[in-house]
Structure 1
């Protein structure tokens, strides 16, 4: 069963993040420099409520296993530099990016908020690592809310839709690079 199948089959799934938001959160957690137990971040998938929105333990276990499988796949792809946007995330001529891309970026930003302390500890202000981290987070933010970004750019005299295409196309490389850099710093920290 896929995550999409699970969300379609369970009536209570409207309490869960949609598939692309979920994939965004999971990708952020997979990119994190320190591995964080899913038990610490899984509740984000249902709004942080204490009670999970599942009918029984088996349903919860099935969902948790799907999430962990996605995490394992994403982590491996990020570390092997083979990660790509999930199927369905695209640019859009009218809307700049499609809803799937916005949802994924929203989930990614939610995940970043959970790992922010780890990132900022390993990549403090005024370091090259922090500049890399800031660039990735800014790029994700631009893809989450391109209209506001475009309005700001226009106000400064730079109307460049092509920049969104460049950011979208560069995101796999940026995210893989950030993950590898963070993992290396975390390993160095643990070895010290």
Structure 2
């Protein structure tokens, strides 16, 4: 994340009004993975709760923020389409909490962003299609990472070694997310 964007996200006047750094990264990742390119003007306001009025003190601050978000989107889209996307720094498993707070927040951001592109996903990967299983698997992984305590319980109830399964889920997310983005891109190109 650029230093300009980090500064804006850590600004005390903006911190309570904008998604956190990890949530922002997750939301932008969801937008970058979406099957159809969504204009940032359609979703930028969701990064501050959807209000029509931005929380920025000046137009210059808003413009800097928007430009940095678009740069992040471009970098993330490129990483997803080339199979290079990885968990950002700070996103990791945690012995005590199962996942680090940035991991949980990134997962939350992805799930929030997915809601905006949900219709596109359901159109391109309808419920009865094989592709829907890939989409469902990715969404399940992010849901489990967002709520790891319940995920471990559910995995244990199924007779699985919850922690080992959880580590496998975390490790597979980059590959699955890149694969989903590539498949969606191919389906859109074929239309």
Q: Distance in 2 between matches of 1:24 and 1:8?
A: 17
Which of 104, 107, 118 does residue 106 from structure 2 map onto? 104
The answer (yes or no) to whether the contact 1:13–1:53 under 8 Å persists in 2 is no
Do residues 46 (structure 1) and 45 (structure 2) align?
Answer: no
Q: In structure 2, what is the equivalent of residue 31 of structure 1?
A: 33
Do residues 181 (structure 1) and 186 (structure 2) align?
Answer: no
How far the C-alpha of 1:123 sits from its partner, in A, is 0.5
The answer (yes or no) to whether the contact 1:27–1:108 under 8 Å persists in 2 is yes
Q: In structure 2, what is the equivalent of residue 136 of structure 1?
A: 138
Q: In structure 1, what is the equivalent of residue 121 of structure 2?
A: 119
Moved more, 148-157 or 115-124: 148-157
Using structure 2 for the length normalisation, give the TM-score: 0.95
How far the C-alpha of 1:10 sits from its partner, in A, is 5.5
SS of corresponding position for 1:167: helix
Q: In structure 2, what is the equivalent of residue 90 of structure 1?
A: 92
Using structure 1 for the length normalisation, give the TM-score: 0.95
SS of corresponding position for 1:88: coil
Give 5+ residue unaligned stretches, structure 1.
none
Q: In structure 1, what is the equivalent of residue 10 of structure 2?
A: 8
Q: Distance in 2 between matches of 1:12 and 1:96?
A: 29
Q: Distance in 2 between matches of 1:154 and 1:69?
A: 41
Give 5+ residue unaligned stretches, structure 2.
none
Alignment deviations for residues 133-159 of structure 1 (CA, whole Å, 9 cap, x no partner):
000000110011010112222333334
SS of corresponding position for 2:16: helix
Aligned pair count? Answer: 189
Alignment deviations for residues 80-137 of structure 1 (CA, whole Å, 9 cap, x no partner):
1001011110100111111000000000000111111101100111211100000000
Q: Distance in 2 between matches of 1:155 and 1:180?
A: 34
Q: Where has structure 1 moved over 4 Å in runs of 4 or more?
A: none
